[in-house]
Structure 1
């Protein structure tokens, strides 16, 4: 399922979009058996010039308030959880599924049995050995908890065949399963929480990741220290990693320029070229799994009307918005799925393109032909979102819809839309894994955790297609299912896709080896500071 973007995941900013070609054949092992080592910051530096040690400070717009991997979804927590806990398999910076804690994996021809063999010498950060029993406990706890990224596959059994071999058996085939196992929520934790209570464990988490929690203020900064028992020998190269809370984009830019932080997570689009061309700063980038969107609460009296939603979609010049706000770092979105995800239909879908006259005609078909007043909810501190809101406000005005922009701080923003206390909002959706279902399930399932991404959009045909896509093997038939699903979404617009942003991170020029992943997270284990 999709993880939330924007302050649920901030929008990632775009250069030429990297198209990720993913090929997976049921019954085959992962395509790679080694950790990802590519797309780091400033690649090609002579290793002899690099020095181990030091502290890397990363500016982030939201604090970390939980390490409970099965109960979290927002990026502020997810991108800290994945530094402590690691899954059996993961994806590299090209979006390819690779073995991680598992040295190999295989899938039976009937798509029901998944077998993982653990790497030799794996230890948790407290020095205890990682065994298949830990994997059984971890996945079972995820099944029991469910949570926002619940395992959707129908699991028949979990079994440790020996200390190194872990087997998952499904009741029925579920094509996205192998991809979804790469989610941070499927990280491996010690059996029975290592003998302590759940509450105590997640206050002082023990995992296999490159870092260990040293000092943590849930309302402020977080300091990690190097995991001396990390399975990748000699890594991480830095001694400490600090997540520094910087809630405002402009403050983050200023601190990066001043050298007070080594990198920033949120880089405003209008600052990208400035940072890229700075004497002491640069930009690291990757293609992303993100779609910036305008979301409608279909429980709202106005946006429950399909003609209202279609009218606003027709009134909005998405190409103009993209060109004006992204400075060449984005691609206009016609479809929900970004091009970096298989089965995207951005080039073939029939979207509601900019046409003010058609928009007025569409509104005339609604229950509010003379227009109405409404509100657009955004989180403060994000200059790009603020400008998006103004463009949307002007589009609404052109057809008689008066939109008041309501900008509130992050915590309140989350509370409001989690409670469906909004009419429309700006946010981003993104996949957590290289799989179409990762976004589609999160944004179209009315019975899922997010109730179609808090829009409560319900369409029986969409639900039918979603379920069909989950059971259909990869290939043309599955592509047809998802093409039909995406066209219905484009026609009924429970959300308007705006643009596909690349991931941009502002970084000091002294940083080497930073790896950007297409879900917006970073790998710090290869980082050196000059």
Structure 2
């Protein structure tokens, strides 16, 4: 399943599902960080690139200290099985960790598991836990805890439910967990890397669910010290973390800064060490700034224009196709992203297998064809409607204006309605919109992660709150979930993505890179392709 970012990060400045887009979130540690010279790698390869500004001679990074991270939305819950938005997901993954995770290049790696094995028939998954694992309260982690965590997830379901048909979950001994499926489900291992499959203590460590998630206990590099659901979160170092000597930081503070410009100014002034929501137009300023830098990576995010297919105007396929033909995606991408994004043809980002971006035939910019398409609709002379966006994001505001002008060119008047982020989420959760700008994000390096979230009319999000339903798409969705990896699965997804390109329940606009602003004194920070960060290797030069 995918998470919607909804303007945090996902991937909002960008937001999530919560792996929402959006979106949805874990990863591996790695090196990097601000050196005295500018460094970088091609983000299209999915590797980390860090560029620092005009700093003075480097000093040795020290252990300890506090990293303050400015984020546009508060953490409202740590319940990993009931959350999906990035504001919560990227806090949950600091406290809870899964058996397998993914690294900065999107490769599945063993995490709390020392090893894993999949049976030849694809029905049995055996995970062997690392020795010496402990929760942040010092108690041992066993396979019983892992079994309880997965069973609770299966019971709750939630926005990132386990879609595989699980027959049973068995703790064979303290170190061995066996999961048996009723039928093969190809995305299963990848989905196990989602933040929502983190391990929690069996029976919530003897607490009620409510008590436990107010002061959660996990295996992650940090534990919650204090938390204001309307403000900041302070994490403290997990003294029992399984990666010996890590994290290097004593504390990690998530500071609520709802306005992108304020966050940028606080970073430049040294009031915060990093910012989550970095507008693309500000990246070069920080990259070349005094004491600031940028961390970037290829992302699993697709920026999109979404249509509510229950709306009288956007239920008409010809209207949606007309708008797709009226929007110059290449021009929009070049104008807004400053080289930090690629124009999108397909729903799937190019960093996800089976993306078919070079194969799909999209409805590319052609005003004459756009007008012909609108003429075939129920509204041949045009109409008036509303485009919903979340406030506080300069890039999205400019994006909305470009789309508004494109719509006007074929006789469609789109009024831009900008609302505060929380209201924005409430509105589209309730289908209270005609069209909106948001991001779709995969939570794991698997095509099904974003496709299922955006095409399943019976799923949690009802095709990402578009209510789009196409029987052939639903059929191909389920075929892709059981098909073995290879050419056959590629064809399934190519066919599915072409139908989406023709029906356009949403218009993929571009694939933005992950961008995070940092102080040049920060070293070891790693950006993951889902928009989250790994903090366990972070040191701050004194």
The reply to whether TM is greater than 0.5 is yes
2:226 aligned with 1:228: no
Answer whether contact 2:97 2:195 (CA < 8 A) is retained: yes
Contact 2:10 2:440 (8 Å CA) reproduced: no
Match of 2:134 in 1: 123
User: How far, CA to CA, are the matches of 2:195 and 2:105 in structure 1?
Assistant: 17
Partners in 2 of 1:304 and 1:254 — Cα distance?
A: 43
CA contact (8 A) 1:275 1:283 kept: yes
Partner of residue 60 from structure 2, selected from 49, 52, 59:
49
Q: Counterparts of 2:466 and 2:31 in 1: how far apart (Å)?
A: 36
Contact 1:319/1:332 (CA < 8 Å) preserved in 2? Answer: yes
Asked whether 1:75 is paired with 2:67, we answer no
Distance across 2 between alignment mates of 1:11 and 1:404: 25
- Counterpart Cα distance in 2 of 1:239 and 1:39: 19
Q: Where does structure 2 lack aligned partners over 5 or more consecutive residues?
A: 15-26, 38-56
SS of the equivalent of 1:301 reads: coil
Aligned to 1:518: 529
1:176 aligned to 2:187?
yes
Name the SS of the counterpart of 2:6 in structure 1. Answer: coil
Change (3 A) 1:39 1:452: farther
Report the equivalent of 1:369. Answer: 380
**Counterparts of residues 64-463 of structure 1 (less than 5 Å):** 64-463=75-474
User: Could you say what secondary structure the match of 1:285 adopts?
Assistant: strand
1:103-154 deviation line (CA, Å, top 9, x unaligned)? 0000000000000000000000001000000000000000000000000000
Give CA-to-partner distance per residue, 1:406-438, whole Å, 9 cap, x none.
Answer: 000011000000000000000000100000000
Unaligned runs of 5+ in 1: 15-34
1:38: Cα distance to partner? 2.8
Find the aligned partners of 2:31 and 2:317 in 1 and give their Cα distance.
Answer: 43
Task: Measure the CA separation in 1 of the matches of 2:506 and 2:519.
Answer: 36
Question: Residue in 1 aligned with 2:3?
Answer: 3
C-alpha spacing 1:83/1:130, structure 2 compared with 1 (3 Å): same
Structure 2 match to 1:20: none
Cα 1:154–1:47 change in 2 (3 A) is farther
- Distance (whole Å) between structure 1 residues aligned to residue 13 and residue 262 of structure 2: 18
CA distance in 1, matches of 2:79, 2:294: 31
- SS, match of residue 416 in structure 2: strand
| 1:6, distance to aligned residue in structure 2 (A) | 3.1
CA distance in 2, matches of 1:394, 1:182: 41
CA contact (8 A) 1:39 1:93 kept: no
Q: CA RMSD in A?
A: 1.6
Question: 2:80, 2:28 → 1: CA distance?
Answer: 22
Offset at 1:279?
A: 1.2
State the 1:41 CA deviation.
1.8
TM-score (ref. length: structure 2): 0.92
* 1:388–1:443 Cα change, 3 Å: same
Instruction: Report the alpha carbon displacement of residue 12 of structure 1 after superposing the two structures with TM.
Output: 6.2
Which secondary structure does the structure 1 equivalent of 2:293 belong to?
strand
| TM-score between both structures, scaled by the size of structure 1 | 0.94
Structure 1 residue 39, shift from structure 2 partner: 5.0
Q: Distance in 1 between matches of 2:32 and 2:438?
A: 28
C-alpha contact (below 8 Å) 1:291/1:336 kept by paired residues: yes
Q: Deviations over 1:240-292 (max 9, x none)?
A: 00000010110010000000000000101110000000110000111100000
Partner Cα separation in structure 2 for residue 186 and residue 117 of structure 1 = 16
Q: Secondary structure at the match of 1:149?
A: coil
Three-state SS of the structure 2 residue aligned to 1:175 is coil
CA 246–394 in structure 1, closer or farther in 2 if over 3 Å, else same: same
In the alignment, the residues of structure 2 paired with residue 247 and residue 421 of structure 1 have an alpha-carbon distance, to the nearest angstrom, of 23
Q: Tell me: CA distance 1:13–1:252, structure 2 relative to 1, closer, same or farther (3 Å).
A: closer
Maintained 8 Å contact 2:9/2:276: no
Conservation of the 8 A alpha-carbon contact between 2:29 and 2:534: no
Report the Cα distance in structure 2 between the residues aligned to 1:198 and 1:167, rounded to whole angstroms: 25
Q: 1:440 to 1:43 in 2, by over 3 A?
A: farther
Does structure 1 conserve the Cα–Cα contact (< 8 Å) formed by 2:10 and 2:441? no
Change (3 A) 1:431 1:39: farther
Note closer, same or farther for the CA distance 1:233–1:44 as it changes in structure 2 (3 Å cut). Answer: farther
Given that 1:221 and 1:243 are in contact with CA atoms closer than 8 Å, whether structure 2 keeps it comes out as yes
SS of 2:379's partner is coil
How far apart, in 1, do the equivalents of 2:500 and 2:101 lie? 30
Partners of 1:47 and 1:154 lie apart in 2 by 53
The size of the alignment, in residue pairs, is 510
Structure 1 runs (4+) greater than 3 angstroms displaced: 8-14, 42-48
